[in-house]
Amino acid sequence: MTPRLRRIQSKKDSAVCVGLDPDPDRMPRPLQKRSTLDATLVFCRQIVEATAEVAAAFKLNFAFFEALGPTGFQILGEVARLIPDDCLTIADAKRGDIGNSARFYARSIFDDLGFDACTVAPYMGRDAVEPFLARADKAAFVLARTSNPGAADLQEACTCGDDTVEGSGDPLYLHTARKVAEWSADAPGTGGLVVGATAPAALEELRDACPTLPFLIPGVGAQGGDPEAVMRAAATERGPVLVNSSRSILYASDGADYAEAAGEAARELRDALQSGLAAPDGS
Amino acid sequence: MTPRLRRIQSKKDSAVCVGLDPDPDRMPRPLQKRSTLDATLVFCRQIVEATAEVAAAFKLNFAFFEALGPTGFQILGEVARLIPDDCLTIADAKRGDIGNSARFYARSIFDDLGFDACTVAPYMGRDAVEPFLARADKAAFVLARTSNPGAADLQEACTCGDDTVEGSGDPLYLHTARKVAEWSADAPGTGGLVVGATAPAALEELRDACPTLPFLIPGVGAQGGDPEAVMRAAATERGPVLVNSSRSILYASDGADYAEAAGEAARELRDALQSGLAAPDGS
């Protein structure tokens, strides 16, 4: 997947990933008289149309679609198909199960729903991640250091390294990242990491440890991460990044101009990210 | 949820959890002429009817239903509703996402689909797990030490403990289990652990560390764990266990007697588990 990501990013000069987390309680006012299912589809379509020009990728958060029941799952597929070919589609499903089940999840997400990439949880280890690394045109963004308050509970547990003192004292997120680099070594371009914008030191550390893996970076906007600092810490010639924003784009306005406001918020994010890239200490 | 689990188990004298992983490639011959969707529903209904008498719980593996698309999601709900009230229903969905998304997943699984419990991935920490611990009548079985080959990659990483030397050198699965005990301390009966039957030493260690948490134990049958040894290691007066078997019950026969054979396999598992419980060194 990485070569395609590079082509898209150099065509659009953009690291923006638009996160589609359609919360029924936050629908713009003009959509509130519609049914939740109908409003969700219309809302997502309008956001995609308003932001596709500057979006290098869209990330669909499965929680919000699954909460709508079987029809929500159908809408998820419809929204994925609406996204133009010059944007990557990322299934934010955080899958992680034993090999046999993981193969079924990968088939559903890559083949039936047609996504280009999926977020994957690493706790169950190699056989849970591998089915998502098996195809050159697809990718797994594996959780390394996430942006939420509870991230530290496990991810910052200090590890003693495995079978050797090398790596001793490293936090678990670095251990995880090294495993992902190892698991995807045979299929370059298929492995990536999720690293939150809210932990800039971890971002730098992970970029040093994994110079070529693409990073999917949530946590700017509503969660407080600084777009320019993120680019300085993680975007390099060899290591591409996608910076996700959901709420600050989707809910930029709750009035009739919500789509226009979302487009404007996406352009502002694109510009802020490009400034970070151009900064003197960027690389 | 734990008090209800105890009532069911003492009524049925059973620790059996029947895993519903309906693989389209392994449907019994009499169902092979039906459509996959239809065969899946009929197969699950027959298995539920044949095994409910001895099953303390059913665990539905979401991967196999999601792979069937939106209608698969609908069938998942239908199968969950077919399960009698004297069996727990466990959503094997391995959810794990930031608090906001986790709340949507919990709502979908507990309210819309009506499950009693859900398997949850711990990598993202407390706020990813808490929405599943918030209701006294429900439960989260959090992954601690799983039964798959890749389990060791992260779960056996040795940790240095947090902020203290206590716990130093413990494997990550113990660190995780202690966190789950801590997170569920305010709502006893809502937190549990997934611990694989294939790692008996870890089972004992985890039972010592978490004497009252219920354990959901996969990995007997096709994966090779020994039912009696599992009960001796983990089932105690204060700490209930559910031992899951999927393939060796579902695919006990691929002929016209598949339901009858599944019922027989479930009864045999129940008896093997009860033997472990009654063994002299059981407690």
In this structure, the number of other CB atoms found within 10 A of the CB of residue B15 comes to 28
* Candidates B63, B155, B169; nearest CB to A101: B63
User: Counting beta carbons within 10 angstroms of the beta carbon of residue B107, is it exposed (0 to 12), middle (13 to 18) or buried (19 or more)?
Assistant: middle
Residue B277 banded pLDDT, cuts 50, 70, 90: confident
Quote the pLDDT of residue B209: 96
Residue B281 banded pLDDT, cuts 50, 70, 90: low
pLDDT in tens, chain A (283 residues): 999 999 999 999 999 999 999 999 999 999 999 999 999 999 999 999 999 999 999 999 999 999 999 999 999 999 999 999 999 999 999 999 998 999 999 999 999 999 999 999 999 999 999 999 999 999 999 999 999 999 999 999 988 754 454 556 899 999 999 999 999 999 999 999 999 999 889 999 999 999 999 999 999 987 888 999 999 999 999 999 999 999 999 999 999 999 999 999 999 999 999 999 876 554 4
For B61-85, what is each residue's pLDDT tens digit? 999 999 999 999 999 999 999 999 9
- % chain B with pLDDT above 90: 88
* Candidates B151, B152, B169; nearest CB to A160: B169
Residue B143 · residue B214 · CB < 8 Å: no
Nearest CA in chain A to B119: A97
- Contacts (Cβ under 8 Å, ≥6 apart) of A18: A47, A48, A51, A55, A57, A58, A59, A244, A245, A246, A249, A266
Residue B283 banded pLDDT, cuts 50, 70, 90: very low
Quote the pLDDT of residue B169: 81
Quote the pLDDT of residue B168: 67
Query: What stretch of H or E contains A201?
Result: helix A200-209
CA angle centred on A131, ends A129 and A136, rounded to 5°: 110
Quote the pLDDT of residue B131: 97
Query: What stretch of H or E contains B93?
Result: strand B88-95
Euclidean distance between CA atoms A267 and B261, whole angstroms: 61
Q: What is the mean pLDDT of residues B220-247?
A: 92
For A104-117, what is each residue's pLDDT tens digit? 999 999 999 999 99
- Model confidence at B280: pLDDT above 60: no
Contacts of A179 in chain B (CB under 8 A): 153-154
Quote the pLDDT of residue A142: 98
Please list the residues that pair with B18 across neighbouring strands.
B58, B245
Quote the pLDDT of residue B109: 97
B121/chain A closest Cα distance in angstroms: 7
Residue A193 · residue A144 · CB < 8 Å: yes
ipTM, 2 dp: 0.94
Quote the pLDDT of residue A282: 42
* Candidates B73, B149, B160; nearest CB to A160: B160
CB A125 to CB B70 under 8 A? no
Residue B117 banded pLDDT, cuts 50, 70, 90: very high
Euclidean distance between CA atoms B282 and B279, whole angstroms: 5
**Interface probe with B: pick from A66, A158, A247, most Cβ of B within 10 Å:** A66
Quote the pLDDT of residue B166: 54
Catalytic residue among B11, B12, B59, B94: B94
Quote the pLDDT of residue A224: 86
CB B127 to CB A150 under 8 A? yes
CB A64 to CB B125 under 8 A? no
Mean pLDDT over the full length of chain B: 93
Nearest CA in chain B to A180: B153
Q: What is the mean pLDDT of residues B261-271?
A: 98
